A and B are shown apart, each in its own frame.
Chain A
Amino acid sequence: MGMNCIIIDDEEMARIIIAQMISNHNELKLTQEFSNAMQAIKYLNQNEVDLIFLDIHMPDFTGFDFIQTIKNPPKIILVTSDKNFAIEAFEYECIVDYLVKPITEERFQKAIQRANSVKPSFTSIKESKTTIEDKTNEFYVNIDRRLIKIEFNSVTLIEAKGDYIHIKTDVKNYIVHSTLKKIEDKLPKDLFLKVHRSFIINTKKIIDIEDNSVLIGKDVIPVSRANRPELMKRLNLL
Chain B
Amino acid sequence: MEQPNLNYINELSGDDEVFKQKMIAIVKTELPQEIESYQSLLKSQNFIAAAEMVHKLKHKISVLGLEKSYYLAQTFEENLKNNNIQLQNDFEFILERMSNFVTSLK
In-complex Cβ contact of A20 among B19, B59, B62, B63 (8 A): B19
A75 at the interface (CB under 8 A from B): no
CB distance from B36 to the nearest CB of A (A): 16
Label chain B's interface by main secondary structure. helix
Known contacts A11-B30, A12-B26, A12-B30: A81-B58 contact under CB 8 Å = yes
> What mask results when residues 19 to 50 of chain B are scored 1 for a CB within 8 Å of chain A, else 0?
10011001100100000000000000000110
Task: Count chain A residues whose beta carbon lies closer than 8 angstroms to a beta carbon of B.
Answer: 21
Q: Which residues from 30 to 59 on chain A have a C-beta closer than 8 Å to any C-beta of chain B?
A: 57, 59
A156 to B29 alpha-carbon distance, docked (Å): 45
Set of chain A residues within 8 Å of B12, measured between Cβ atoms:
17, 20, 105
A29 at the interface (CB under 8 A from B): no
Residues A164 and B26 in contact, CB atoms below 8 Å apart: no
A191 at the interface (CB under 8 A from B): no
In-complex Cβ contact of B81 among A20, A81, A175 (8 A): A175
Known contacts A20-B12, A175-B81: A13-B27 contact under CB 8 Å = yes
B82 at the interface (CB under 8 A from A): yes
CB distance from B60 to the nearest CB of A (A): 7
> What mask results when residues 52 to 92 of chain A are scored 1 for a CB within 8 Å of chain B, else 0?
00000101000000000000000000000110000000000
Residues B60 and A164 in contact, CB atoms below 8 Å apart: no
Set of chain A residues within 8 Å of B60, measured between Cβ atoms:
13
Task: Count chain B residues whose beta carbon lies closer than 8 angstroms to a beta carbon of A.
Answer: 23
Residues B23 and A102 in contact, CB atoms below 8 Å apart: no
Residues B81 and A57 in contact, CB atoms below 8 Å apart: no
Residues A59 and B63 in contact, CB atoms below 8 Å apart: no
Set of chain A residues within 8 Å of B58, measured between Cβ atoms:
81-82, 101
A144 at the interface (CB under 8 A from B): yes
A82 to B48 alpha-carbon distance, docked (Å): 16
A190 to B81 alpha-carbon distance, docked (Å): 31
A162 at the interface (CB under 8 A from B): yes
A16 to B59 alpha-carbon distance, docked (Å): 13
A161 at the interface (CB under 8 A from B): yes
A14 at the interface (CB under 8 A from B): yes
Residues B78 and A144 in contact, CB atoms below 8 Å apart: yes
A163 at the interface (CB under 8 A from B): yes
A57 to B56 alpha-carbon distance, docked (Å): 8
CB distance from B53 to the nearest CB of A (A): 10
Residues A101 and B62 in contact, CB atoms below 8 Å apart: yes
A164 to B16 alpha-carbon distance, docked (Å): 41
Interface of A toward B, CB cutoff 8 Å: 11-14, 16-17, 20, 57, 59, 81-82, 101-102, 104-105, 144, 161-164, 175
Q: Which 9 A-B pairs have the closest CB atoms?
A: A81-B58, A102-B62, A13-B26, A101-B59, A81-B59, A175-B81, A162-B48, A102-B63, A12-B26
14 new A-B contacts at CB < 8 Å, known A59-B52, A105-B11: A12-B30, A13-B59, A16-B22, A57-B52, A81-B55, A81-B56, A81-B58, A81-B62, A101-B59, A101-B62, A102-B62, A102-B63, A163-B52, A175-B82
Can you give 6 A-B contacts (C-beta < 8 A)?
A: A11-B56, A14-B59, A82-B58, A105-B12, A164-B48, A164-B81
